[in-house]
Amino acid sequence: MILLDAREPEEFQVSHLKNASYVGYKDFSAEEIQQQFPDKDQPIVVYCSLGVHSEKIGEKLQQLGYKNIQNLYGGIFEWKNNNYPVFTSENKETNKVHAYSRRWSKWLKNAEKVY
């Protein structure tokens, strides 16, 4: 399974799901995705903070011909709220999650919020 992080670089650097690949949202590149992941039948899970941006990236992947796309329900916020681990760029478990914005941070309840 391929795990894709559709947040911004500063969010990914604070923490991400283990073995996730950064694809971004604003700077998402269809060409890079197709080069990096040529098998369009392989299962792909896309996530972001809450699920909005990852849904849009999932739609773009479907337009590119990828067939097995899932959006992680509730994003990394819900993941962490359920006590699942997140990792730093050095592959160390952390309790920190980028909260995206003060407005959206109300949905992140079980992590140290970083802005």
CB 76 within 8 A of CB 103: no
Model confidence pLDDT, tens digit, residues 14-65: 999 999 999 999 999 999 999 999 999 999 999 999 999 999 999 999 999 9
Which pLDDT belongs to residue 22?
97
Which pLDDT belongs to residue 12?
98
Q: How confident is the model at residue 76 (pLDDT cuts 50, 70, 90)?
A: very high
CB 58 within 8 A of CB 84: no
Domains and CATH numbers, the chain: 2-114 (3.40.250.10)
CB 12 within 8 A of CB 22: yes
Q: What is the pTM of this model?
A: 0.94
Which pLDDT belongs to residue 52?
95
Which pLDDT belongs to residue 84?
98
Give the separation between CA 93 and CA 1, rounded to whole angstroms. 21
Which pLDDT belongs to residue 114?
97
Residue 13's contacts (CB-CB under 8 Å, 6 or more residues apart) are 89
| Distances 104 to 16, 26, 89 between C-alpha atoms, Å | 17, 18, 23
Which pLDDT belongs to residue 99?
97
